Chains A and B, each alone.
Chain A
Amino acid sequence: MSKSITGAQPDVADTPLRVEGLTKRFGGITAVDGATFEVEQGTLTGLIGPNGAGKSTTFNLITGMLSPDSGTVTFDGEDITGREPYEIANRGLVRTFQIARELGEMTVLENMMLAPKAQRGEHLWRSVLPGVRGSVRTQEAELLDRVWETLDFFDIEHLAEEYAGNLSGGQRKLLEMARALLTDPDMLLLDEPFAGVNPTLEQRLLEHIHELRDQGYTFLLVEHDMDLIMDNCRHVIVMHQGQILTEGTPAEIKANEEVIEAYLGGDV
């Protein structure tokens, strides 16, 4: 698989994502409590923890959907704490959602065409004025090529003209990841990409993720299913009650008494 479907090489830095002392309170509950961790370039890092551990909130804080009460998020050496979600996405840190959020009344192709960054035609005057619109159409044709390549890569090209709302749960997950890739990200945050996905499709999604990681993409994966993380990630971060309980290789995590306790004591 060539690198061509997403264009540019991801930036090389040892630890593109660094989170320090991240804290978020909702009323009396501290959902995330001083979380500090790093994600290494070109790895598949897992973020696990029982229900209510603060994984999704951490994701929302990193991607700007929520603002932290304290702490910092650094991406590619730049402080992105509290930035708007679109700014963070444009810097190359792109997320998917826990419940796949396809744009139901748009076709799969429209969903995909939406994603590429900084399209010429996103300025109204370029799309409307006669004469300038030609350049918009030229770029649309280039984007369309990339879209079809990506659809082929994810084996969802047969669904291209379907309305996204008609896809099955698993197909939506594929669409969402394909769409995120088209933004040309350096790093992808996947929030429970396998929830509600059947085992066959789960295997395919994992293959795609490994293939993309080999191409140099960095992944941070929130997952509920411990076994899946253990089998696929090189580095695992465990959250419990808003804090980072421990981190290490899957083998280290498996042997960790605290982790076992957290899972057994919590709601697995």
Chain B
Amino acid sequence: MSDAEASGTGSLRRLWEQDAAKIVALLAIIYGAYLVSGLVLGYSIRGQLNSMASLTFYIGVFATLALALNLHWGYTGLFNIGVVGFMAVGIYVMAFVSKPLYGSTGAAQVGGLGLPIPVGILVGMLAAAALGFVVALPALRLRADYLAIVTIAMSEIVRFTFLSSTFQQFQFPYTLAGDTTRVGFGGGSGLILDFPDPLLAFIDVVGLSGAYDGLVGVVGAIVPNNPEPIVHSLVYGLVLLGVVAGYFWLLKRTGESPFGRVLKAIREDEDVARALGKNTDRFKIVSFMLGCALMGLAGILWLMGQGAVTPNFFRPRLTFFVWIALIIGGAGSNTGSVMGGAVFAAVLYQGPLYFQNVVTSVFQPGEAPSSFGPAVSPLISGFDPMPFLLYTLDSVRQLQLVVMGVALIWLMHNRPQGMLGHRKETAAAIPLGRPGGGAGRGGGSNADADPTPKTDGDGGGGEAGE
């Protein structure tokens, strides 16, 4: 944004002050870049739509996860590095509750309780919150670092529990049928999610089936061959973005309230909050459980439509992906969390593969060496870098974690406060200006306030010289 024209840039800048404008602008850039790279790659319309759908999906899940983690770390200062554990409990418990009874469908090794999907989602979230409570209760009374140790250990315990053969299948006394039913978590081979398609069920409940079918028809006119899966994934992406908006709304209200103010005080100095009469344990537990429930829901939304879930999906590195997303956006800011989730999904998570594909299709560089030796030897013997570059390009998938690590280190060194800079959202339910105008400069909600000290010339002896 340039300083050229006074009035024009003025109104543009005011627009930029709006958080929604920042998010929309960022999404426009990301989608634009993906469309352009799709054109370069010569994608068909079907390919473009698929690429948009999967991009939206990852933006949605990483934004929700970053928002939930922001409640823990950004607001309350709770160092949770067990995000995947709560996601896993969310989806597994949801599957347990909502999978049809054993024997009622063909493929599944084990059944579930056969309850409706919304019940499953609710119970899954409650289970994640309950696990959060169990984890938090002993750890919150100790120093902050212990919570980190406990949470990452917990996430591994959860993964190994779902891997174990003990819980692979067992009998559940199913009182409704007056019989026992075979249930379980499927162990290492995974759990087939054989409940009805959640999106279609949702659309049916909302009463938009007609609109959905119409959309399938419209897309079918452009992409004649089997348009339904494209529409399905696009609509699911949109639903996820709706969930992001819901999280944003919930967490904004949480932060901008007396409750959020106490969370912020706990992050800054818990002893002060306690000395001012705040039962900080209660606030920490409520905040932690809410964040865990939101992580559980994010896990459900990520995997619910994938057909199956395996425990090894929930490796700790997924937790660190969420952390990177949060750090990119800037901890403490909900807008930053959404933007961080979007940038992470588009650039670091999906980006490298697109980069590889674009470079390959533009330069048509030919075969890459099959191993490290042939890739390096021409570089040393004949100063020919091409085989090495080709090999690197070919290994982008493996190098993705390296790229993420480098990005994280760079961020911590150069921009620890995240994309939006040093920004703090005021923790109050109303703007904190002086009532009735006067000395107060009104907008307590002005988030981009410059943290440099004001000079107070008429400080009335307020300066303490040393």
Contact = CB atoms under 8 A, between A and B. Distances in A.
A114 B444 CA distance: 15
A94 B464 contact: no
B280 interface: yes
A170 B461 CA distance: 10
Interface string B333-368: 000000000000000000000000000000000000
Contact of B259 (A127, A157, A163, A166): A127
Interface in B156-192: none
B274 A86 contact: yes
Contacts of A119: 258
B12 interface: no
B277 A157 contact: no
A104 B268 contact: yes
Interface string B245-261: 00000100110011111
Interface in A58-100: 63, 65, 84-86, 89-90, 94-95, 97
B204 to A, nearest CB: 27
Given A89-B277, A168-B463, A120 B427 contact: no
A123 B259 contact: yes
A110 B435 contact: no
A25 B219 CA distance: 77
B210 interface: no
Contact of B276 (A109, A115, A144, A162): A115
B428 A140 contact: yes
A109 B444 contact: yes
A137 interface: yes
A90 B208 CA distance: 53
B439 A105 contact: no
Which of A84, A110, A158, A165 gathers the greatest number of chain B CB atoms within 10 Å? A110
A171 B462 contact: yes
B424 interface: yes
B15 interface: no
Given A101-B272, A155-B460, A198-B464, A117 B440 contact: no
Contacts of B453: 162, 166
Contacts of B268: 103-106
A124 B463 contact: no
A196 B265 contact: no
Interface in B245-293: 250, 253-254, 257-262, 264-265, 267-269, 271-280, 283, 286, 290
A20 interface: no
Contacts of B262: 114, 122
B406 interface: no
B52 interface: no
B462 A183 contact: no
Contacts of B259: 121-124, 127
B275 A95 contact: yes
Nearest to A85: B274
A114 B265 contact: yes
A144 B432 CA distance: 7
A245 interface: no
B203 interface: no
A148 B428 contact: no
B119 interface: no
Given A65-B271, A148-B434, A171-B464, A107 B258 contact: no
B429 interface: yes
A121 B258 contact: yes
Contacts of B264: 103, 105-106, 110
A121 B464 contact: no
B430 interface: yes
B28 to A, nearest CB: 30
A35 B260 CA distance: 40
A127 B253 contact: yes
A206 interface: no
Contact of B427 (A86, A95, A106, A124): A106
A124 B290 contact: yes
A168 B454 CA distance: 12
B274 A168 contact: no
Contacts of B464: 168-171, 173, 196-198, 201
A140 B427 contact: no
B303 to A, nearest CB: 27
A163 B258 contact: no
Nearest to B422: A105
Nearest to B332: A105
B246 to A, nearest CB: 12
B266 to A, nearest CB: 10
Interface string A250-261: 000000000000
A123 B276 CA distance: 16
Given A101-B271, A106-B265, A114-B265, A156 B258 contact: no
Interface in B422-466: 424, 426-430, 432, 434-435, 439-441, 444, 449, 451-454, 456, 458-466
Which of B424, B432, B465 gathers the greatest number of chain A CB atoms within 10 Å? B432
Contacts of A105: 264, 267-268, 424
B428 A110 contact: yes
A103 B434 CA distance: 21
A55 interface: no
B142 to A, nearest CB: 16
A229 B424 CA distance: 41
Contacts of B283: 122
A100 B274 CA distance: 15
Given A158-B439, A160-B434, A94 B456 contact: no
B197 to A, nearest CB: 31
A141 interface: yes
Interface of B: 250, 253-254, 257-262, 264-265, 267-269, 271-280, 283, 286, 290, 424, 426-430, 432, 434-435, 439-441, 444, 449, 451-454, 456, 458-466
Task: Report the 10 A-B pairs with minimum CB-CB distance, sorted nearest first.
Answer: A170-B464, A127-B257, A121-B258, A89-B277, A103-B268, A166-B453, A119-B258, A85-B274, A200-B461, A109-B432
30 contacts: A65-B271, A85-B275, A94-B276, A101-B269, A101-B271, A105-B268, A109-B432, A113-B258, A113-B261, A120-B258, A121-B257, A122-B259, A122-B262, A123-B259, A127-B259, A133-B257, A136-B429, A145-B435, A148-B435, A160-B432, A160-B440, A161-B441, A168-B464, A170-B464, A171-B464, A174-B462, A180-B276, A183-B276, A198-B464, A198-B465
Given A122-B258, A133-B257, 19 more contacts: A86-B274, A86-B275, A89-B274, A89-B277, A90-B277, A103-B265, A104-B268, A105-B268, A113-B258, A122-B283, A124-B259, A127-B254, A127-B259, A128-B253, A136-B258, A158-B458, A160-B434, A161-B441, A201-B463
